[in-house]
Amino acid sequence: EQNFPEFVRVRPLILCNYETIPGLVFNGVCYHHGGEVNYVLQTKGIEKPTAAVTAKESDHSIPSGGTVYKSVLVGFKFDPADPVSLFQEKAVNKTFDLKARSLEYFPLAAILIVGFSHGIISVYKEERANKTNEPLLLNVAKFKATSDRVTKTLVNSARSELYVVGRSNKLKVVDMTTWTVREVVKIGTGPILGIAIEPSLDLGVSCTEDGKL
C-alpha cells in the first residue's frame, strides 16, 4: 500500500463463502460465466478403524487400518437474480470411492472431466431431464489414462484431444472421439508442474520441475 498504491486501488472482496463437512479438501471449482450450474469437487480421507487380527502361526495381533478416500462432485444451480451466492441449491450430487485430483468443465461440448488417483478419468455430459428439465450428468466415458494420479487435464477443441498430466514428465494425448490414449509426449526431464494451452493459436506452455519453461 505504501510503495505501490496504484496496484491496490481496486481491492478484491469476499463475495461468498462455502462451508462444508470438516476435513473435505477442495480439488477443483468450475465457475463459468453465464452457466446454469457451478461445480465443486472435494475429497475426504477416512481412517479405517484398527481391529486386532490374530495370525494363525503366532499369537501377535496385526492391526488393520489405513485410509480410504471418498470424493464428492456437487453441482449448484446459478441464480442470476442473486449472482453473489454462487453455491445455492444443489442440482447434482455424485460420490466416488476414489481420491479426486482435478476438475475441468468444457462449455463448448457441455462436458465435465474429473481426474482421480491411479490415472482414472471420468467424463460426464450435461443433459436435461425430460419431465422436470433438471440438470443431469450422464457418464460418457471412464478410462485409465496413466499409471499415476491425474494432476491436470486440458481440452484442445481444435484437435478434439484431451491432454492428461500425471506426476511425471509425460503428457498423454487422448482422442476425444474414442477416449483412448493416442500418443505420449515427454516434456522436459522432471515432473510437469504447470501447463496451459491456447487451441486457437495452436500454442502450449509448460513448466517442469527441472526449471524449464
User: Which tens digits make up the pLDDT trace of 32-57?
Assistant: 777 788 888 988 877 766 655 555 55
Other C-beta atoms closer than 10 Å to the C-beta of 143 total 15
pLDDT of residue 136: 84
Q: Long-range contacts: 168-177, Cβ < 8 Å, 24+?
A: 168/192, 169/208, 170/146, 171/195, 171/206, 172/145, 172/146, 174/121, 174/143, 174/145
Residue type for 207, please? C
Q: Residue 62 pLDDT > 50, yes or no?
A: no
Nearest 10 degrees: CA dihedral of 106, 112, 116, 119? -60
User: pLDDT tens digits, residue range 7-39?
Assistant: 777 777 776 666 666 677 888 888 777 778 888
* Minimum mean pLDDT range among 2-6, 190-194, 200-204: 2-6
The SS3 call for residue 17 is coil
Q: What is the mean pLDDT of the chain?
A: 82
Rounded to an integer, what distance in angstroms lies between the CA atom of residue 63 and that of residue 177?
A: 47
Sign of the C-alpha dihedral, residues 22, 24, 25, 28? Answer: negative
pLDDT bin (cut points 50, 70, 90) of residue 87 is low
Query: Residue 56 has what pLDDT?
Result: 53
Question: What Å distances lie between residue 61 and 48, 50, 64, 115, CA to CA?
Answer: 16, 11, 9, 38
CB neighbour burial string for 171-203, b if at least 16 within 10 angstroms, e if fewer:
bbbbebeeeebeeeeebbeebbeebebeeeeee
Q: In this structure, what C-alpha cell is assigned to residue 68?
A: 480410504
pLDDT above 70 (res 199) = yes
Q: Mean pLDDT across the stretch 85-101?
A: 81
Task: Report d(CA 61, CA 64) in Å as an integer.
Answer: 9
